[in-house]
């Protein structure tokens, strides 16, 4: 124990098991070693320990790191409260009493807060790389589908014609916002609490600038009380995972729908689908379904920590030990979901002609007909009403819009002429779009080139 001096009895075995965080904070093994090495080197620089003692401590810590990486050291959760006490105990075994000097001017509070920030910084960089990979895949598939027409939806009802490329590029935009959120969290996390002690710093002349720089932080934190109790960066990281998973869940839902026999728009590869234990014909989009399903647990992780933090007085409280397991889980889940989505998109096949005939004359061209009337000088509210009557007539006759005759259109309003019928054709439907940000293939191709350059 790191704290046993004022106690007469050993901690109850069940209490030790209940309180030990070692089974999950062993994820901070590498970061804990990094922080301890920086602290030991700093203690030597400020003359609190000798250079020989510092070197002995650093070499011992490096040995523990090598043992851990090689699987030769596996501390027991029933014996140690956390990864810090396990490492310190092993350091005593390796170098003797000199190990006791490592903790000078340091608390587990600032040690773990620093290590946790390092872990989140590393994890953010990993997620950013994965998001960029997924963006590249979406752009690559989009490049081959700028004129692959499909219905765009609102309220899950057909609304207007778009392309698959246009649809996928919407997710590229979402992923870019996910990157910006993670960049914000990276900046927020980039402060070193090391040297803050338990809550109020130290009487020792610690060089916080040295350890901050050594560990790759931009600056040391300014207020020891806040540095120890701050978990805003944790909540912001979890929120970034939440929104990122929400985006992947929405795309998963669409892949699931598009891969059904009813849609028959895409086919997911064997690498990312499973079969049925009973029905031999089944091709189940399990990876997409799991991504959609696991979004709930990531949301729950955020709620868990937000609820834990809401009533805590400053500074550290043991409740805060519960901050790590949900973070590790959310990161792993989000990282795996990004990988699965990249794999699914990269290997899917598209039925490019699926909607070409079906959308010919479809009601989803009603907005285009309204705008045709606007060009003829009809106020939009009036044109909206006129086209509503056109749709009503087609419904009554159980016909598509392109099956109505010009005489029938003229009976609704004499302004209609033969050119109005061109609005109902799929051919050139996307090219008729004129506004920036629309599915006009020329504009979509320009966006693809922009993203290819940005994502190099």
What does the alpha-carbon distance between residue 413 and residue 418 come to, in Å, rounded to a whole number?
Answer: 13
Q: Report helix angle 108-143 to 29-45, nearest 10.
A: 130
266-267 and 349-350 as β-strands: parallel, antiparallel, unpaired?
Answer: antiparallel
Catalytic residue (choose from 155, 261, 277, 349): 155
CA-wise closest residue to 81 among 7, 8, 6, 11: 11
Q: Angle CA(274)–CA(276)–CA(280) in degrees, nearest 5?
A: 110
Residue 167 annotated to the active site: no
- Max Cα separation, the chain? 100
Rg (CA), the chain: 30
Rounded CA gap, 84 and 70, in Å?
A: 19
CA distance linking residue 309 with residue 405, whole number of Å:
67
Task: Identify whether 103 is a catalytic site residue.
Answer: no
Catalytic residue among 19, 218, 276, 385: 276
Decide if 373 contacts 415 (C-beta within 8 A): yes
Hey, which residues does 243 pair with through a beta bridge? none
Reply yes or no: is the peptide bond before residue 17 cis, omega within 30 of 0. Answer: no
- The Cβ of residue 402 has, within 10 Å, a number of other Cβ atoms equal to 16
Task: Give the DSSP H or E segment for 220.
Answer: strand 219-220
Are 57 and 91 contacting, i.e. CB atoms less than 8 angstroms apart?
Answer: yes
Catalytic residue set: 155, 276
């Amino acid at each position: 124990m790191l704290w046993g001096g004022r106690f007469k009895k050993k901690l109850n075995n069940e209490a030790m098991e209940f309180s030990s965080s070692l089974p999950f904070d062993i994820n901070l093994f590498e970061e804990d070693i990094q922080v301890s090495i920086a602290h030991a080197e700093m203690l030597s620089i400020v003359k609190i320990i000798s250079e020989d003692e510092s070197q002995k401590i650093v070499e011992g810590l490096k040995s523990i790191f090598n043992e851990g990486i090689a699987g030769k050291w596996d501390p027991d959760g029933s014996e140690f409260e956390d990864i810090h006490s396990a490492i310190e105990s092993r350091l005593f075994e390796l170098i003797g009493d000199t190990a006791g000097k490592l903790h000078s001017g340091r608390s587990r509070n600032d040690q773990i807060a620093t290590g946790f920030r390092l872990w989140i910084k590393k994890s953010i960089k990993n997620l950013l790389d994965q998001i960029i990979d997924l963006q590249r895949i979406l752009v690559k598939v989009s490049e081959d589908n700028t004129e692959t027409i499909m219905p765009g939806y609102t309220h899950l009802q057909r609304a207007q014609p778009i392309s698959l490329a246009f649809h996928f590029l919407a997710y590229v935009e979402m992923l870019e916002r996910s990157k910006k959120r993670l960049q914000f969290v990276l900046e927020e996390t980039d402060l070193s609490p090391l040297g803050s002690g338990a809550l109020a710093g130290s009487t020792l002349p610690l060089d916080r600038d040295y350890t901050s720089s050594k560990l790759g932080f931009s600056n040391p934190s300014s207020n020891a009380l806040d540095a120890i109790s701050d978990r805003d960066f944790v909540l912001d990281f979890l929120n970034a995972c939440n929104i990122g998973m929400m985006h992947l869940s929405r795309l998963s839902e669409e892949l699931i729908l598009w891969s059904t026999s009813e849609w028959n728009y895409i086919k997911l590869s064997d690498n990312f689908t499973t079969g049925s234990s009973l029905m031999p014909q089944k091709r189940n989009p399990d990876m997409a379904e799991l991504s959609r399903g696991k979004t709930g647990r990531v949301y729950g992780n955020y709620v868990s920590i937000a609820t834990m933090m809401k009533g805590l007085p400053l500074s550290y409280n043991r409740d805060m030990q519960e901050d790590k397991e949900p973070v590790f889980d959310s990161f792993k889940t989000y990282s795996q979901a990004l990988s699965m989505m990249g794999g699914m998109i990269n290997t899917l096949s598209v039925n490019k002609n699926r909607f070409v005939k079906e959308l010919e004359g479809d009601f989803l061209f009603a907005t285009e007909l309204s705008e045709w009337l606007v060009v003829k000088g009809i106020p939009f509210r009036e044109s909206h009403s006129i086209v509503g009557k056109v749709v009503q007539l087609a419904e009554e006759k159980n016909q598509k819009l392109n099956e109505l005759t010009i005489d029938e259109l003229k009976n609704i309003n004499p302004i209609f002429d033969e050119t109005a019928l061109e609005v109902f054709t799929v051919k050139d439907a996307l090219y008729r779009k004129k506004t920036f940000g629309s599915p006009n293939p020329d504009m979509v191709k320009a966006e693809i080139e922009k993203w290819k350059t940005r994502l190099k």
